[in-house]
Every structure is written in structure tokens, then in C-alpha cells.
A and B are shown apart, each in its own frame.
Chain A
């Protein structure tokens, strides 16, 4: 079985600030790390390999320093890695990023299973995985919380929906985006780090792609444009309420409504089921 995991290097800290006056983005140090959500995808891939055999490759897109996260994947147990790196890939939005990665995947050959993390901690879009699957014309399942069964022709997984789990079987080749906590990711191993120290990381640029039209990559291949960035409205409100119990309860009720905590539950059926469940719990305890 050939497994590919898409990974990304992200800033070590999410503590970014925008200077409200100058609009300059201030980042807390330049240190970077592997996107934490990708660790779950790597762990899932390694466990499937341990059960079924095969290989686990990783692919990333970014500047040359992003090789670091590929090395880290090696230390966790990945067998090989590719970095897509070219100045012309810079400034890419979701569409251009997913297109670049899909082109990169094509350049690396065929895979049975492609795994992605839920989202990245810098972009936060959770969209790149699904768009890659579209470019590759393969089926995809997101919000995978469990791997049920790995067979020779496909994989059975649980997709998390509000209120229920959908158990689906997907035929290979396919792409899965796994949820946080599907498995506890293993730590990188010093032994493997030493053993893979000299392992080659393939670096692909635009020239290595099937489609070399630079209009499809980077900023030029991006339909969306960032107009500006600005700091979020601060959330340091504080209110002290005094009054009779009745008054306070009524105010609390109204404010909960304004904050949309009284709206129906996630599937439109209201939260009656949860209430019933809570009430049921109570009844059982009392009986």
C-alpha cells in the first residue's frame, strides 16, 4: 500500500499581532514547527502501514527550510519525502496551493491513500485537502475520527457528523482528512533521526510539474486576494450585574439568547435530544 501524507511547516507560535496604527504584522519569533494537526495524519499513516505493510511518503510545500518538517516525519517513521519549493509558488491561496500540491503528487507517482490533517494552525481554512482530492479526481472523506478496517480495495472509516457517525467505505485511491485525536501521535525518534540523517529529500520546482504554466501557481493562480489584515476587535468586556435573583436570571436568559446559546442544536431538531438524554440520566439515577 502506498500512502502519502500532506504536511506543512507553520509558525511555532500563533501569537501574531497587527499594529493597529501601521498595519504591520508582528510575529512572535521566527521559529517554526510541523502543523500540529498533521501529526495525527502521519500517525494514522504509520499505523496503517504497520498493519498492512507498504510505504509512507510525505509531501510539503514551502521554502527550502520546510525540509525540516520532512526530516521530522522521517524521525516519526515516514519512508520518504518531497518538498515543493519555488518562488513562483509564493502567495498562493487555497486554490493555487491545492493545485500545486496536486501537481506535485502527480509528479511523484500513484498513491492508494492520501492523508491530510484537519487544518493548519496558520491558515485555519480546512479546505486544502478537499481541493486536492478534486484536482486528483479521487473521492475524499473529511472529519475521519476512526479507521475501522483497511482492506485491499478500500478503507472503512468513521466520519464525524453532528449527532452521528457515518461509517463509510472508500475505494482507493482516495483522500482522508483525519480529526485531531484520532490517535495520539508518536514522538520523533532519535534513533530514526540519526538513521535518516542523510536520506535525500526530493525538491520539486515548477519545472518538474506536468503543468508549467506559471499563471496557475502562486499569487497568479489565486482567485482570492487579501485586501488587508487588521487586529480583531478586542474581547475584554466585563460587566458586573447586581439585583434580585429573579432580575439576574432574566438578564442572564436574555444575554444567552443574544449570544445565540439558546438557538436550536446543530441538526435543527433543537437540543431536545440532549435534554432528553440529560433528563433520562437523572431519571435513571433516581430510580
Chain B
């Protein structure tokens, strides 16, 4: 089904609607960045970019787009990795970065109400000032909250605190037909029919437009201590992860990292990592309210690691030390990017008990497929990020080997009871893999849901499960 080609008349209407020249960008006013997201593999320009300021504006845009069959693509900070915010059918791109106000901090209900364009780092800093804590902690701190909700972003603290979904209590949504409505609210419990709010979370902007979010907050833990644990081999390190989970000590994060990725980060940041004795590390984080409390928490895990053959357990208990480790960890994606010509990513998630098997497998297929793969990830929640690197390969060889590697990785993940994406989403780039991994009935339901919300398929077409 075809869409209407966006023309001068449409532009004139939208300009009249917004009445602010600087918020309506067309033609060569549209920066190159709007044509792709953080991994530029999926690329397509919108015809117009509108920097909206209110749900009302979005509602009017949706009504007009519906009437004229013009596709609309929502976009936050553009930090996605799977092309979910790329305008595959061109048309209108709705940029929410100006809707970046914190509307209400409700200390009686421990909630905060924000507009979708508030950045994760801004939200975190704001609530911290009030001794409160928004636990989801995806690596990309300059992503918008709207984007985080749309992909159900996870991040490093998922082991203990869960993911974005666990902190979204209510959403104001503009539906594809332009209606503005609410799902959920400031209620801790809710058994009132289908949970449409949960349906919106992770829908990657295909069902409706998030214009406000009520988020749940926790009291801020006062003390954070990380343990950097060197192991004699990667195998020993990751074999310890299921043991840590079983020990019930509940770290906030369990990450694994390898020497070569650390070296990329050292090079990228120009800072040396505080330990060099090993090729493989686990990085664990614990939080609590006093040093003593946190020490009690990690003590058992430290002993366990040593029993499992760790070379040592190193303690990071000050701001400087935390920075020397986590700054490196935070730079991994950019650092790997910098170490090759081009790359594609895999964000599969497996049951935690199989993390070690999956990591081992990732290593073995490098040889099998003859392609370089670097991986790191949230070992504690089973979410692994693997990056397939192009290096000097020709177009043809790269395409062929990359797909082969991806196929194999997803196949293995399926076999272990895993899923295609842990936190980056499906967007455009991962659609084929989703199709292969989900039962046919699930796909049918997903497409059916999409039709109920957006019968004309105006909102963010060609994403997730769409044929």
C-alpha cells in the first residue's frame, strides 16, 4: 500500500500549524543525522522534520497525516542501534527533543512525570539532587526517556533493579488517529483490564506517540562499591556468573570484559585501566546505604569468586576508582567502533544460566566464520552485546560472513531459550531475525495489535513485525 508523496502543500500546512520556522525543517535544512541512527546501516531521509513542543501539536500532525496517508516517524535523540527511528517511507519525522521538561516530582508517591525528550542523564541528575534514584541505566546516557521506554531499555543495573518497564507507571499517548489518551497512572497496583501501558513499552513508536511518562523512583542508595575480578581465563570468569546469581547476593550489575576491548577503550580514552594482570574480568557492582552494608553484601561474592579460581578481587570504592573502571566500560561501544571500519551488532539475551555457554560460542564462531567478533555485556542478566567487525573485508565477503555469523548466533540463542533483542529493540535491522525466532502465532498477534492501534499504518511503518 502506497503512501502519498509529501509535497509543498503538506509543508505549507505543517508550517502554518507549527507557526515557528525554526521548528519545521525541510529539504537541505534536514541534517544528515536525521537520516540514520547511531549505527548508520539503515538510512533514509524524512521529507520534513518537525520539532514538536506539545501533545496537541503531535495530535494535529497525526490527524493530518492520517487524512493524507503520510507516514510519521517518531524520533528522540537518535541514539538507537536498529534503525527504529529512521523514516523508511520518508514523510514526516517528529522530533521530541524540545519536549524536554520535567513536569512534576511527586515525593508523596515517589514518582516523577516527564516529557519524552528529557535525556536519561538529565533525569538521573535531577532525581539524585532530591536523594532519589531512577534505576534503569542503559549505556547511552544521552538517549531520551521516550526512546528508553520505546525500546524497553535495560542497562547495567537490570540484575538487581530490572528494566525500564519496571519503572513506567503511566503514559500519556497520542494514538495514530490523533486522540490523546492515558494508559496507567500513579498507581502502584493495577488489575484493570489489558495493560495497554505495557503494550506501549517496547513498541518502538509503532502503536502510539508517548508524550508524557510517570516514572517510579526509589530512595537513592548512598554508597556504591564495585569489584573488578580478574580470572585466569574467560571460561573461568563466565562460568562464575551463574554461581554468583545462585548465591543470592544480588549485585546491581554483573558485566564481563576482556583485555582486548579494555585496550581499545584505553586507546580511545587515552587513560590506562587500573589492572592489567588478566585477559578476562568480571565487573560487579553493589549498592547500599553504608560502606559496612555494601561490604557485607559483596563479601560472600568475593569469596565465591576466589573459590572459583579468581586471581584476586579488586575493590573500587571511591569516585576516582569508579571512574577509572566505568569510564572504560562506558566507552566500549565507541572504542570498538573506532577499532574497525564498520560493524553490526547483536543484542541477544539468553537465560542467565546459559550465559557462559553463549559467550563461549561467540568466541568459537570467530574462527568458524572467519570474522572478528568483539563482545562484552551484562553477563548477570544474560544480555550479551556482540559486535561483528568488518575490518578490511570487501562488500561481498562482509555481507556474506556477517549474515552467516548473525544467523548462527541467533540460532544458538534460540536453542538456549533466548530472544533476539535484550534492550536495543528490533526496529528495521533485526526484523528478519525476529521472524525466525518467534512462534508464528506471536507474530500474527503482534501484527493484529498493530492493526488495531494503527489501521492505516501511518505510524513508523516497516518496523518490528510488519511484513
Check A-B contact in the complex, CB < 8 A. Answer: yes
Chain A residues packing against B (C-beta within 8 Å): 12, 33-34, 36, 39, 75, 184-191, 193
Contact B315 A193 (CB under 8 A): yes
In the complex, A250→B273 CA distance in Å? Answer: 45
- With A12-B318, A36-B320 known as contacts, the answer to whether A184 contacts B273 (CB < 8 A) is yes
Question: Number of contacts between A and B (CB, 8 Å)?
Answer: 43
Total chain B interface residues with beta-carbon distance under 8 A: 20
A190 partner, pick from B275, B315, B318, B320, beta carbons under 8 A: B315
Contacts of B227 in A (CB 8 A): 190
> A184 near B274 (CB under 8 angstroms)?
yes
Our pick among B306, B314, B324 for the contact of A188 (Cβ within 8 Å) is B314
Main secondary structure of the interface of A (DSSP, over half): mixed
Q: Chain A CB within 10 Å — which of B312, B315, B319, B320 has the most?
A: B315
B305-345: contact bitstring with A at CB < 8 Å (1 yes, 0 no)?
01000001111111111001000000000000000000000
Q: Which of B274, B306, B318, B320 contacts A186 (CB 8 A)?
A: B274
Residue of B nearest to A39 (CB): B320
State in angstroms the CA–CA spacing of A202 and B272 once bound together.
35
Contacts A187-B274, A191-B306 given; 20 further ones with Cβ under 8 A? A33-B317, A34-B318, A39-B320, A184-B271, A184-B272, A184-B273, A184-B324, A185-B274, A186-B314, A187-B275, A187-B321, A188-B314, A188-B317, A189-B313, A189-B315, A190-B302, A190-B306, A190-B312, A190-B313, A190-B314
Determine the main DSSP class of B at the interface with A.
mixed
CB atoms of A191 and B274 under 8 A apart: no
Q: Nearest CB to that of A190 among chain B residues? A: B313
**CB-contact partner of A191 in B313, B321, B324, under 8 A:** B313
Does B228 lie at the interface of the complex (its beta carbon under 8 Å from any beta carbon of A)? yes
Q: Are B315 and A186 in contact (CB under 8 A)?
A: no
**Contact between chains at A189 and B318 (CB < 8 Å):** no
Contacts A33-B318, A36-B318; A186 near B313 (Cβ below 8 A): no
Residue of B nearest to A75 (CB): B315
Q: How far does the alpha carbon of A186 sit from the alpha carbon of B317 in the complex, in Å?
A: 12
Question: Which residues on the B side are within 8 Å of A39 (C-beta)?
Answer: 320
Interfacial chain B residues near A186, Cβ < 8 Å = 274-275, 314
Across the interface, do B314 and A187 meet the contact criterion of CB distance under 8 Å? yes
Residues of chain A contacted by B321 (CB below 8 angstroms):
187
19 inter-chain pairs at a CB distance below 8 angstroms, sorted by A residue, are A33-B317, A36-B318, A184-B271, A187-B274, A187-B315, A187-B316, A188-B314, A188-B317, A189-B312, A189-B313, A189-B315, A190-B302, A190-B306, A190-B312, A190-B313, A190-B314, A191-B306, A191-B312, A191-B313
